[in-house]
Amino acid sequence: MKIKEIYQLAVEKGIEQDPRARETVMKLLEKERKLYDELKEDEKKEFDQDKLFNPYGDTRLLYGDPEREVTRVLSGIDMETAEVLLADRLSTRGTKIDLIIAHHPEGKAMSALYQVMSLQEDVLAKFGVPINVAEGIMASRINEVKLGLMPLNHNRAVDAARLLDIPLMCIHTPADNHVNTLLQNMMDEKQPETLDDVIKILKEIPEYAEAVQYNAGPAIVLGNKKNRAGKIMVDMTGGTSGSEDAYAKLATAGVGTLIVMHIGEKHRKEAEKNHIKVIIAGHMASDSLGLNLVLDQLVRRGVEVVPCAGLLRYERKEQL
């Protein structure tokens, strides 16, 4: 596969698995096209034209010729300068790495992470929070994340990749969409009665089963195993943690249990205050599951995947 084909495939599969309706995502792309068409010529030079087909600002080809052929990728959750050096070392020892695929964003994709957070507004609305309320409570959180990203040294890994001439890309929200949709469909279908039932279902998935061995598997952080789960919401996409104000609105909308990758103490306290049960599925395991579902698409097209950097690699022979 060419690098551009891998990039385009990741975006398309991300749209397919997006918790929003496909029509909603396509409307966003149409708005970007209209915005671009209305720009002056000098403004068009500064416009990121990837936005015309890719609605995920945290997913980008960061370095490399899009036409370059790829037979083997080195992939992991956090692919930073050390992993770029690892790719170079593997290549010198005979395991040629044609492309590095990170999950967590680097470079300009990291600085644009806040742009995908509006996805959370639609997810909240899907679970019964009025869209005007969802937009209202997310606005300040999105701005907070935007400001927090500004001081970061985004390009360290990208610079290393450029110096060693190893193509680098990141696939963030498209992978998160995969794990979010898979788990939500699973919970909707199986309708677990208790929190313990939820944990058992998660542990049937190999990434979570392996994570248990590392003390990083699924865990109940609010509630106990005998508590009834009620209405379950999987919250694993949309860039990063949302607004603390969402828990009261979700409780009013009837959500009983949240399944998340991770949760901060302020968010945990708000969930507790609103009697929402919380299960942490595990960060690396959840990211691995989502990224694996994307990488499987590459394997089916003849690309070899070398996992590292926290990726718990399991290949699924059939489409889920």
Written as one string, the DSSP assignment of 45-97 is: TTS-GGGGT---TT-EEEES-TT-B-SEEEEESS--HHHHHHHHHHHHTT---
Question: What are the angstrom distances between the C-alpha of 294 and each of 49, 57, 207?
Answer: 23, 17, 14
Which residue bears the tokens 């949240």? 258
Report the alpha-carbon distance of residue 161 to residue 154 in Å, rounded.
13
Question: What are the angstrom distances between the C-alpha of 279 and each of 41, 43, 169, 195, 271?
Answer: 50, 46, 31, 8, 11
Report the alpha-carbon distance of residue 259 to residue 233 in Å, rounded.
6
Q: Which residues pair with 72 in a beta bridge?
A: 304
3-state secondary structure 150-198: CCCCCCHHHHHHHHHCCCEEECCHHHHHHHHHHHHHHHHHHCCCEHHHH
Report the alpha-carbon distance of residue 120 to residue 7 in Å, rounded.
23
Report the alpha-carbon distance of residue 253 to residue 131 in Å, rounded.
12
Which residue bears the tokens 């929200």? 173
The number of CA neighbours under 13 Å toward the Cβ of 275 is 9
Query: Which residues are annotated binding-site positions?
Result: 176, 283
Longest dimension (CA), the chain: 62
Query: Which residues are annotated binding-site positions for a divalent metal cation?
Result: 176, 283
